[in-house]
Structure 1
């Protein structure tokens, strides 16, 4: 084998080595970019979930529009409170229950149970008022 042929094979080997190196670098860069995009999307999804949970917890704790009104309704309907004695307050609670049912926040069974409690409270308040008038 003469020197020119060896130099020729060495140049071809070096070119192949550089070509493979470039291909590996490009593939590595593309995989890194894909990994960065996937990890970014996962991070945003987790962050959105945490923010949603915090929003719902805040709405539940502070009684926002999206909060479940079961605690406040059961407190408002127990006993003979001054709020339950007014007709407008009872109507607003009934309207609120209707809105929650229509928006899908409470089930039909829960809606019927709460409306039944409201009607019983309303009847009790009417009877109490009649008894007070008779005294």
Structure 2
């Protein structure tokens, strides 16, 4: 019986070793998968950052950046003049594209010019104070 018991225990030991090997392999595969996903996410984040910086640098170099330029920072009156001009430009664009009629364009431009004159008068009064 001693020989049979030894074979029985040896078979159990081999089965346990095979089971432990399978469990370790599965855990190793899961760890590898998780590390691959994390690595891919970090790589994509870095790539997105590089693309964003390249876009901003290109926009800045080509002058088509939407952020305010250094010239308009610090002068409050130029901002309102630029805003009035851009509203007038938008009205002109709408007229050119046929979105508004000539009469509507003239009416809105007139209102815009009146608003600008009132704003100019208000600024002058503020300066005098």
Q: Distance in 2 between matches of 1:43 and 1:56?
A: 20
What is the Cα deviation at residue 27 of structure 1?
Answer: 0.2
Aligned residues: 86
1:94 is aligned to 2:82: yes
Per-residue CA distance 1:56-94 (angstroms, 9 max, x = gap):
1111110114244225x59xxxxxxxxxxxxxxx89961
Higher relative contact order (CA 8 A, sep 6+): 1
Q: Where does structure 2 lack aligned partners over 5 or more consecutive residues? A: 88-119, 121-129
Q: Distance in 2 between matches of 1:7 and 1:52?
A: 67
What is the Cα deviation at residue 95 of structure 1?
Answer: 1.9
* TM-score (normalised: structure 1): 0.53
* Maintained 8 Å contact 1:60/1:66: no
* Maintained 8 Å contact 2:56/2:65: no
- Over aligned residue pairs, what C-alpha RMSD do you find? 3.3
* Maintained 8 Å contact 1:56/1:67: no
Q: Which residue of 2 aligns with 1:51?
A: 51
